[in-house]
A = this chain, B = another copy of it.
């Protein structure tokens, strides 16, 4: 059912990200680190432009969205980040080493987004697609609604 993740004791999200990238033969540049830090610093899904603004401020120079998109795409394909389709935004992935079809719960009031992994649900979605003669690559399972705080 629900998957239990071990925590990265003491190891920062960012250094785990670095490790993951390097294991897959990609460089961990200043820019990539800055984008990752910015992404991870948001407490809700961030758009590429949010991230570009944040990195721009931190570095005191203009960083174009374009560059951020490139890096976000890279992160998504390395499983360091996920795209929240219904919000046109991205979140950092705590567990780049665990592959899951994940489920996002996005509060329509405050924007807070929580992340579930439930392989039996996502497996059910994949199976339903297969039964319809469709080859599933990437399930998108998100729920819009109200979080606990916003009722």
Question: A residues touching B (Cβ–Cβ < 8 Å)?
Answer: 85-86, 103, 105, 107-108, 114, 116, 118, 121, 124-126, 128-129, 132-148, 151
A145 contacts B140, C-beta separation under 8 Å: no
Least distance between A94 CB and chain B CB atoms (Å): 16
Q: List 21 A-B contacts (CB under 8 A).
A: A85-B86, A85-B142, A103-B128, A103-B129, A105-B129, A105-B132, A105-B134, A114-B134, A116-B128, A116-B132, A121-B125, A125-B143, A129-B143, A129-B145, A134-B145, A134-B148, A135-B151, A137-B143, A137-B145, A138-B145, A140-B144
Which residues on B sit within 8 Å (CB–CB) of A129?
Answer: 103, 105, 116, 143, 145
Contacts of A85 in B (CB 8 A): 85-86, 140, 142
How distant is the Cα of A61 from the Cα of B1 in the complex, in angstroms?
Answer: 56
What residue of chain B has the Cβ atom nearest to residue A135's Cβ?
A: B146
Q: Are B133 and A138 in contact (CB under 8 A)?
A: no
Please indicate the chain B residues that have their CB under 8 angstroms from the CB of A148 in the complex: 133-134
Shortest Cβ distance from residue A150 to the other chain B in the assembled complex, whole angstroms: 9
Interface pair A140/B143, CB less than 8 Å apart:
yes
Interface core residue of A108, A139, A140, A147 (most chain B CB under 10 Å): A140
